[in-house]
Structures are given as C-alpha cells and as structure tokens.
C-alpha cells in the first residue's frame, strides 16, 4: 500500500476528539478530511471549527471513498456497532478507549477486521509514549535491577449528572473502564511476563458502578503491581517502579514528556522529549501499520486488548456502598 498520508474521518465529535485533532495536527502521516455525527448540524459546526472538508451523518462519511480510517469517539455503548459498521464499509478503525467491555466482543470485532483485511486498534495512548519506551529500555538494560513492585494510579472526581454513561453499570461505567486503562497500560508495558494472580477491591457508588477500585496483580517471576482507578476520589496520580537497584517516580505517566530514574548508589538519569500532543504517537503508529498492511498493532495487538478487557472486568473481592 502506497500512501503519503492516511485520511481520517472522526465519528462522534465529542470532547476527547478535540485532543485527537491536535494530535493529527502534529502528525506527518495523518490528515482529517471528514467528521460524522448522528446530528448533522453538530458535525457541520465541528467541521467549520477545524476547516474539515466533509461533514454529515455517520453513514454519509462512511460512504466517502477517500476516507481510509475512522476514529470513533462516541460513548462506549455504541463502539461495537460503529466498529463493525466502519469495517463493513471498508475503513480501518481506531476506537477511543474503553473500546469494548467483554472479551467475546473483542474477539468478534478483531475477527471481522481480519476477514475484511483491515487494521483495528484501541487508542490507548499510554502504550506509545516515548517516556514509556525509555522506561522499558532502562528496565531491559538492568538499570533498576530486578523490578519487584509497581504502583500506578489514575483517580479523579467526575462531575456530571448521574445519567452520564460513566455512572451506568449496564453499559460499562465506573472508574475501572473509564480510566483504569491508564495505570494498567503502564504496568503491562513494563512487565512482559504472564499474570498469575489477580485480586480486586472496590468502593461502589449509588448507581452500582465502581467509584474507586484497586487491582492487585502478581506476575510470573514475582513482581507485584497495585493499580488504582476511580471517578469519585481525587488522588495524586503517579507511577512508582521499584527495583533491587533503583526506582522511578513519574507524575502524569499517561501523558508526561519527562522521566528520571534514581539508583540507590546515588546516580540518576533524566529523559525529556518535546511533545506538543501525546496523541500523535499512537496516531503515527497506526498510520505506519496501515501503510505496511498490518491488521494489528505489534504494540497493542488483539491479545493485548483481550488481556486489558479481562483484567478490567475482574469481579470485586470486596464491595461496599
């Protein structure tokens, strides 16, 4: 496949999509040419804001032959149907997280993408950051010694009416699926061994969703990870990685452009990169995969999507209201 740039259509011009637009602005491989929404007028207003050429219904946008790939940023309950609809229209797909809630749905959409010969990936941005890649490099080089413990948290107070999807347990609301992918992506990026034990605790909200959840993972080889995620508890959101020879403390790990390791012998090293948008990395990665004819990302393949979904779906061992 020979393409200079991948032409994108945005499906669902919601809040998060504005950050995707910024990511594309700083990409050398992507270009947004269309926006589709259930409300045509909303699509037109969005297109006017960003000088996007085409705007209309979702069906209209999917019929455009010049659209190569769609970015889906609608509420999560609609993701599966829109993924299948987009693939059926012959479009590659990037879907905003959380992509899906059930392993069987993950397997179904990836099987359909394979059948159609199209690329499919969840936009889990933390997996693609240069800072995370640098941390992996340090760990593989043994700078921290043997990593024995990781702690990662992303918890905040979501302010909205209770009819928002994030408070609805029937469609996968709650802290785990809303933001749990961020700390989980940090842990699974750094530790590449199988998970051998999982234990979860949560505090439930009045609607039944997890307002705050804690997930404890043990990996083959002994490393333990504790992950916290919530929509009803403000926290200082950090990642902490402890090894036998050193440690890393990293704030805002899902978007940061700088990271430092500290060794117990007093030495340290800092990595910093200019980063106008943390979205650009996974956008560029997806474009490169599409140009190469890949159907899955080597960084976030179907097996990775399955593992994320399985772990975030763990039933709570203790729940209180």
Q: Is residue 1 part of a domain?
A: no
Residues of the chain with pLDDT > 90: what percent?
Answer: 90
Q: What is the pLDDT of residue 313?
A: 84
114 in the same domain as 139: no
- State whether 226 and 192 are in the same domain: yes
CATH of the domain at 64: 3.40.50.720
How many folded domains does the chain comprise?
2
Span 128-180, pLDDT tens digits: 999 999 999 999 999 999 999 999 999 999 988 888 889 998 877 899 999 99
Same domain, 69 and 119: yes
End-of-domain residue from the set 123, 153, 183: 123
> Cis omega (within 30 of 0) on the bond before 98?
yes
Q: Is residue 207 part of a domain?
A: yes
Indicate whether 80 belongs to any domain: yes
Phi and psi dihedrals of 55, rounded to 5?
Answer: -150, 145
Q: Is the four-CA dihedral 106, 108, 112, 114 of positive or negative sign?
A: positive
Reduced to 3 states (helix: H, G, I; strand: E, B; else coil), residue 156 is coil
Q: pLDDT tier at 4 (50, 70, 90 boundaries)?
A: confident
pLDDT tens sequence across 50-97 = 999 999 999 999 999 999 999 999 989 999 999 999 999 999 999 999
For residues 270 and 148, membership in a common domain is answered with yes
Indicate the SS3 state at residue 11. Answer: strand
Do 302 and 106 meet the contact criterion of CB atoms below 8 Å apart?
yes
> Could you tell me the CATH number of the domain that includes residue 182?
3.30.360.10
- Whether the per-residue pLDDT at 2 is higher than 60: the answer is no
Q: Is the pLDDT of residue 319 over 50?
A: no
Q: Tell me: do 178 and 239 sit in the same domain.
A: yes
Same domain, 96 and 208: no
Which residues, other chains included, contact 145 with Cβ-Cβ below 8 Å and sequence gap of 6+?
Answer: 243, 244, 245, 246
Q: Give the confidence band of 279 by pLDDT, cuts at 50, 70, 90.
A: very high
Question: What is the predicted pLDDT for the residue at 3?
Answer: 61
Residue 230 has pLDDT above 90, yes or no: yes
- Segments forming the whole domain that contains residue 265: 130-277
Taking only the tens place, the pLDDT of each residue in 21-36 is 999 999 999 999 999 9
281-307 pLDDT, tens digit each: 999 999 999 999 999 999 999 999 999
- Residue 71 structure tokens: 């970015």
For residue 169, the model assigns a pLDDT of 85
């Amino acid at each position: 496949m020979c393409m200079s740039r991948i032409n994108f259509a945005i499906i669902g011009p919601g809040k998060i999509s504005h950050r995707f637009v910024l990511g594309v602005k700083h990409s050398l491989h992507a270009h947004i040419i269309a926006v589709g929404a259930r409300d045509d007028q909303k699509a037109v207003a969005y297109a006017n804001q960003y000088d996007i050429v085409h705007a209309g219904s979702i069906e209209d946008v999917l019929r455009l032959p010049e659209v190569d790939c769609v970015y889906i940023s609608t509420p999560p309950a609609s993701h599966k149907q829109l993924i299948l609809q987009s693939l059926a229209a012959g479009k590659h797909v990037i879907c905003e997280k959380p992509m899906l809630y059930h392993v069987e749905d993950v397997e179904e959409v990836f099987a359909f993408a394979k059948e159609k010969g199209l690329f499919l990936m969840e936009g889990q941005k933390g997996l693609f950051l240069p800072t995370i890649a640098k941390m992996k490099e340090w760990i593989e080089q043994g700078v921290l010694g043997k990593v024995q413990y990781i702690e990662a948290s992303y918890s905040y107070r979501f302010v909205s009416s209770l009819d928002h999807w994030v408070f609805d347990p029937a469609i996968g609301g709650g802290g785990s699926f809303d933001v749990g992918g961020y700390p989980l992506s940090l842990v699974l990026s750094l530790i590449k061994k199988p998970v051998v034990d999982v234990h979860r605790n949560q505090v439930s909200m009045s609607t039944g969703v997890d307002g705050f959840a804690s997930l404890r993972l043990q990996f083959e080889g002994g490393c333990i990870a504790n992950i916290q995620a919530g929509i009803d508890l403000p926290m200082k959101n950090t990642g902490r990685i402890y090894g036998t020879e050193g440690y890393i403390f990293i704030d805002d790990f899902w978007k940061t452009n700088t990271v430092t390791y500290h060794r117990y012998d007093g030495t340290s090293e800092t990595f910093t990169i200019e980063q106008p948008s943390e979205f650009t990395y996974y956008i560029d990665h997806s474009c490169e995969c599409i140009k190469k004819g890949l159907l899955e990302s080597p960084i976030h393949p179907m097996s990775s999507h399955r593992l994320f979904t399985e772990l975030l779906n763990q039933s709570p061992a203790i729940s209180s209201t």
